[in-house]
Structure 1
Amino acid sequence: MEESCNHIYPELVSIITPVYNTSPYLSATVESVIRQTYAHWEMIIIDDGSEDQSAAIAHHYSKQDERIRVVSLGKNYGAGVARNAGIKEAKGRYIAFIDSDDIWLPAKLEKQLRFMRDTQAELVHTAYNLIAENGSSLCKHYCPPSKVTYQDMLKTDYIGCSTAIYDTQRIGKVYMPEIRKRQDYGLWLRMMQDIKYAYGLPEQLVLYRIRKGSLSHNKWRLVQVQWDFYVQTARLGVMGGLRSMAYWSFFGLTKYAKN
């Protein structure tokens, strides 16, 4: 019988979830964490000034499960600030992320931690499936490369935020740039200046929700945000930004495969 990952990895996993007005989806997200086969985790839900029932839902779960706690920021600062507040509060060796409208499959943590042990990786991400706003399948999935370098990551963001885990024992706590968009991309670039590879686990372990009005759904806004990130945050300059935008545009057209 395969050895249980709960025995292999007694170390705590800290799961960071920023929340802003996602009450229709938050329960499904939290329930997917509770159902994990790897049980030694804490979930830090950061309420980023929600105006709907998100905070009430988060507090409800924190009362039901002592592994869940809520941090309230008081007003909306954006996902970069919110995720950093979670990282600061994290007590675990491993830091994982799940957005408040995405869903983990039950063996996500267990399989990913085993993969981290086998590869001795500092940063690991996984394949994922796309779902619609109502939770139905879009019949598309993304499978990451087995390894990517810092130079690869300058071209495009290969890492889905809700799929990623990093090991603070090996690289310390690393924080995101406090920007409202693409802060996770900035985090991966910061990490990868000091590590050789980010490793991709090819198994689809996350359901990534595409919502109307989201950045992923608004293509023109996405282009502007991506350009600003390359020039202002990654500091690639105009020519470097143009090269990266060309690759990113091509990658976006070919990224998703049909199930």
Structure 2
Amino acid sequence: MYPDISVVMAVHNEERALLEEAVNSILNQTYSNFELIICDDASNEVTSDVIKEISRRDDRILVITNTENRFAGATRNRGIYVARGKYVALMDADDYSYPERLEMQKRFLDTHFEYAFVSSIVDCFDGEKIVSGHFRVKEKPEKRDFLWGAQFATPMFRKECLERVGGYDESKVTRRTEDYDLYMRLYAQSLRGYNIQRPLLRYFLNVNVMKKKRLYRYRIDEAIVRYRGFRRLGLMPEGWIYVIKPLIVGLIPHRVVWRMKGRAKSG
């Protein structure tokens, strides 16, 4: 029997505890007709051995392996290509899906054919405490909302819609903003998304990843992605100020940005 949902998880040198928690959160979903495609993006030997061990625990798990590090977009594309489900749900290797995530997202797409993908509000774990509703977004984002940021987090897609836009852009410039780029390309094709207004996922705030994302060359790449996306969406020249935003924010220490976000949420 073919699965209804293919969960695609890209993994590169993840900590064992986080990876096991992420996998178990999928295996313990209330909806069970899925496959979990773990895409090993040329991880070190320790992580690769953990992935092999995990894959033996459940016959719904499929592992594919890159011989070289290809980054998230290209690695997810490999998982999407072999996916057998009509829905493709993304999952990061250090995140946690709440038990009803797949069931609720599938039910939504089963009954709302006008939407190509569905996401939700997201909680965040900063290593000490859970910040409820850290990623709180509009229920029905419009094109103009992309001026402010990505608008969606780790969605479930109709596979046919991903195929229609060619999946992820694998070019170097999108390596830290591959999701943002994908959402804007989908909207440019009139393929819209929806955010369920309750948390279905919990992010882990990885300070090391945040530091990498703050390397200034990645800020320049984000500005390029914004410019291209805004042009597709007809948001220029208004969008110019938002194109240069990451270049300005990149000059602010990341812990200050995090505290600012926290104050904004509490306010």
Question: What is the TM-score with the length of structure 1 in the denominator?
Answer: 0.82
Structure 1 gap ranges (5+) = 1-9
Q: Distance in 2 between matches of 1:87 and 1:228?
A: 26
% identical equivalent positions: 22
Corresponding residue pairs, total: 246
The residue that corresponds to 1:4 in the other structure is none
Matches within 5 A, 1:67-216: 67-120=60-113, 121-132=115-126, 134=127, 136-139=129-132, 141-160=134-153, 162=154, 164-169=155-160, 172=163, 174-178=166-170, 179-195=174-190, 197-215=192-210
Q: Please say if 1:20 is aligned against 2:12.
A: yes
**Partner-residue secondary structure (3-state), 1:75:** coil
- Selected match of 1:257 from 254, 257, 265: 265
Partner amino acid for 1:228?
A: I
- Tell me: CA distance 1:244–1:96, structure 2 relative to 1, closer, same or farther (3 Å): same
Question: What is the TM-score with the length of structure 2 in the denominator?
Answer: 0.80
8 Å contact 1:156–1:247 — kept in the other structure? no
- Tell me: CA distance 1:23–1:194, structure 2 relative to 1, closer, same or farther (3 Å): same
Alignment RMSD: 3.1
Q: Distance in 1 between matches of 2:162 and 2:176?
A: 24
How far apart are 1:122 and its partner, in Å?
1.5
8 Å contact 1:144–1:201 — kept in the other structure? no
- Tell me: CA distance 1:114–1:131, structure 2 relative to 1, closer, same or farther (3 Å): same
- Tell me: CA distance 1:243–1:15, structure 2 relative to 1, closer, same or farther (3 Å): same
Partner amino acid for 1:112?
A: Q
8 Å contact 1:155–1:245 — kept in the other structure? no
The residue that corresponds to 1:42 in the other structure is 35
Q: Please say if 1:234 is aligned against 2:229.
A: yes
Q: Distance in 1 between matches of 2:22 and 2:200?
A: 13
Partner amino acid for 1:97?
A: L
Q: Deviations over 1:159-194 (max 9, x none)?
A: 11x2x0111256645410014211111211222222
Q: Distance in 1 between matches of 2:111 and 2:211?
A: 33
**Partner-residue secondary structure (3-state), 2:119:** strand
The residue that corresponds to 2:241 in the other structure is 243
Structure 2 gap ranges (5+) = 250-257
**Partner-residue secondary structure (3-state), 2:48:** helix
- Tell me: CA distance 1:227–1:171, structure 2 relative to 1, closer, same or farther (3 Å): closer
Q: Distance in 1 between matches of 2:85 and 2:211?
A: 30
- Tell me: CA distance 1:16–1:135, structure 2 relative to 1, closer, same or farther (3 Å): farther
**Partner-residue secondary structure (3-state), 1:65:** coil
- Tell me: CA distance 1:143–1:118, structure 2 relative to 1, closer, same or farther (3 Å): farther
Q: Distance in 1 between matches of 2:58 and 2:223?
A: 42
Q: Distance in 1 between matches of 2:94 and 2:45?
A: 14
8 Å contact 1:143–1:203 — kept in the other structure? no
